[in-house]
Amino acid sequence: MKRKLDDSKPLFLQIKDRIEDQIVNRQLKEHEQIPSTTQLVNFYKVNHLTVAKGVNLLVEEGIVYKKRGVGMFVAEGAREKLLKQRRERFVDEYVVPLVEEAGKLGISDEEIFQLIKEIKGSEKDV
Amino acid sequence: MFDIQFENVCVTFGETEALKNINLHLEGGKIYGLIGRNGAGKTTLLSLLASYREPDSGKITVNGQKPFENPEIMPEITFIYEKDYSDESEKVKGLLDAAERYRPRFDRKYAEELLTRFGIPLDKPAKSLSKGKKAALNVTLGLANRTEVTIFDEAYLGMDAPTREIFYRALMEDYTDHPRTFILSTHLVSEMDYLFEEVVILHKGQILLKEPVEELLEQARAVTGTREKVNEFISDMKVLETQELGGVKRAVMYGKLSEEKMKKAEQLELEFETISLQDLFIHLTSEANPDA
């Protein structure tokens, strides 16, 4: 788990992303308790107001739910919901820039496919 | 929760005006960072709050009352600073006994737990502890007092980095379980900034600013680009510092950016970076800064 946050986007969104990653990677399962605000503050060295802002967004989006006096828990179906969101974003965040950049560099579709195959092949070797 | 109010507070030492017309309102229940350069007046300000002295003029109220020699307020304010325990032959246990008598909310069990975390034995005289352990004992008493207002004035002095980390964690945990007002006065801005909800910068005896940290940092940024384009962009901004390397210029700015200004930055192909509280503090209080 990466501890260092960067300044590429607001910290509260990065906190939200990190928790989402843990849900997507199955490190946090449905109805499991997510780390408390204090734990997140101490781990990421980010102010508790910032942490709360990120976590509250997860509550609003129905990814986690609150049990009063106990803490926050992963909602049922949270992972599927996140995967769906990410698939939708995949096109905008990865495919569109890839195609645009390839166009600028004059890389053909054939070459793109070839590169993807090569990368996937080398991953298998690892 | 105790609100704290300073109204036109002045303190003078001989010819020196240590505090000049301080107006400050600290809402109860938050963690404040009090930062300022050496001699800015931090300890003077805090010792007023702890009723170690009275202001020469102006008014201080805590929970609506004057704190000085006030038996309702004084037991609810803890002032922890680098204390000299070299003459303290009392054992650690005895110091806990004393705190238990004087502090209405002192949590003995919690104090003993913390001492264990810091590795401090109860049966040793305070004066025999190492410098770092003395500081740890000091902050333990500060936390376990659970007073409405707790002031840590450079309380970490002498602690090594792992001990400071235990302190920061304990502070955050105890604040979550028992919300109250903390004032942390420090030079270690970069190490402690994540604990602060609001920051108060004191400079040359005056309040330079008091703002929520997040809002403050949203207004501070560095902009980088070619010299001409950066110059064009910063002409109507408050600039704290500039650096040039070849034809590239980087300017640290402070102030809200309008949407128009953001569009302009995009047109000029400028890059933004966020600034840490430590850097902002350095720029705002630097001698080179005409407004400082």
Q: Which residue has the higher pLDDT, A122 or B33?
A: B33
In a mutational test of the A interface, the residue from B171, B176, B178, B278 whose CB has the highest number of chain A CBs within 10 Å is B176
pLDDT over 70 (residue A18): yes
What mean pLDDT do residues B30-58 have?
94
Say which DSSP state A13 is in.
Answer: H
* Residue B88: predicted pLDDT: 85
Bridge partners (DSSP) listed for residue B184? B33, B152
pLDDT band at A122 (very low <50, low <70, confident <90, very high): confident
Distance from CA of A76 to the nearest CA of B (A): 28
Closest by Cα among B83, B108, B87 to B98: B108
Q: What is the pLDDT of residues B83-118, one digit of tens each?
A: 888 888 899 999 999 999 989 899 999 999 999 999
* Residue A7: predicted pLDDT: 65
* Residue B91: predicted pLDDT: 94
Alpha helices in chain B (DSSP H): 42-49, 92-102, 108-118, 131-144, 161-177, 189-192, 213-218, 227-234, 259-267, 277-284
Vertex A47 angle, CA B237 and B63, to 5° = 95
Q: How far is CA B234 from CA B15, B43, B217, B224, B268, in A?
A: 40, 37, 18, 11, 12
Contact between B174 and B139 under an 8 Å Cβ cutoff? The reply is no
Helix axes B161-177, B108-118, angle to 10 degrees: 160
pLDDT over 80 (residue B68): yes
Q: What is the pLDDT of residues B203-248, one digit of tens each?
A: 999 999 999 998 898 889 999 999 999 999 999 888 998 999 989 9
- Per CB-CB distance under 8 Å, the chain B contacts of A9 are none
Q: What is the pLDDT of residues B8-38, one digit of tens each?
A: 999 999 889 999 999 999 999 999 999 999 9
pLDDT over 90 (residue A126): no
Distance from CA of A14 to the nearest CA of B (A): 15
Which ipTM was obtained for this model?
0.76
Helix then strand count (H, E) for chain B reads: 10, 13
Please return the burial class of B133, using the count of CB atoms within 10 Å of its CB with bins 0-12, 13-18 and 19+.
Answer: buried
* Residue A8: predicted pLDDT: 66
- Per CB-CB distance under 8 Å, the chain B contacts of A45 are 194
Vertex A47 angle, CA B174 and A6, to 5° = 145
What mean pLDDT do residues A105-119 have?
92
Pairing assessment for the beta strands B220-226 and B271-274 based on DSSP bridges:
antiparallel
pLDDT over 70 (residue A4): no
* Residue B259: predicted pLDDT: 87
Contact between B26 and B4 under an 8 Å Cβ cutoff? The reply is yes
What predicted TM-score, i.e. pTM, was given to this entire model?
0.85
What mean pLDDT do residues A100-107 have?
93
What mean pLDDT do residues B145-154 have?
96
Say which DSSP state B125 is in.
Answer: B
What mean pLDDT do residues A91-95 have?
91
pLDDT over 50 (residue A1): no
What is the CB neighbour count within 10 angstroms for residue B70? 15
- Per CB-CB distance under 8 Å, the chain B contacts of A35 are none
Q: Closest to B274 (Cβ–Cβ): which among A7, A48, A49?
A: A7
Q: How far is CA A45 from CA B156, B169, B195, in A?
A: 18, 10, 8
- Which residue matches tokens 């350095």? B282
pLDDT over 90 (residue B286): no
Q: What is the pLDDT of residues A36-64, one digit of tens each?
A: 999 999 999 999 999 999 999 999 999 99
Average confidence score pLDDT of chain B = 92
Q: How many CB pairs under 8 A join A and B?
A: 30
Average confidence score pLDDT of chain A = 90
pLDDT over 50 (residue B165): yes
Contact residues for A31 (Cβ-Cβ < 8 A; gap 6+): A73, A74, A76
pLDDT band at A124 (very low <50, low <70, confident <90, very high): low
* Residue A10: predicted pLDDT: 83
DSSP string, B81-124: E----TT--SBHHHHHHHHHHH-TT--HHHHHHHHHHHT--TTS
CB contact under 8 A, B172 and A38: yes
Percent of chain A with pLDDT over 70: 91
Percent of chain B with pLDDT over 90: 75
Closest by Cα among A53, A45, A43, A44 to A12: A53
Percent of chain A with pLDDT over 90: 79
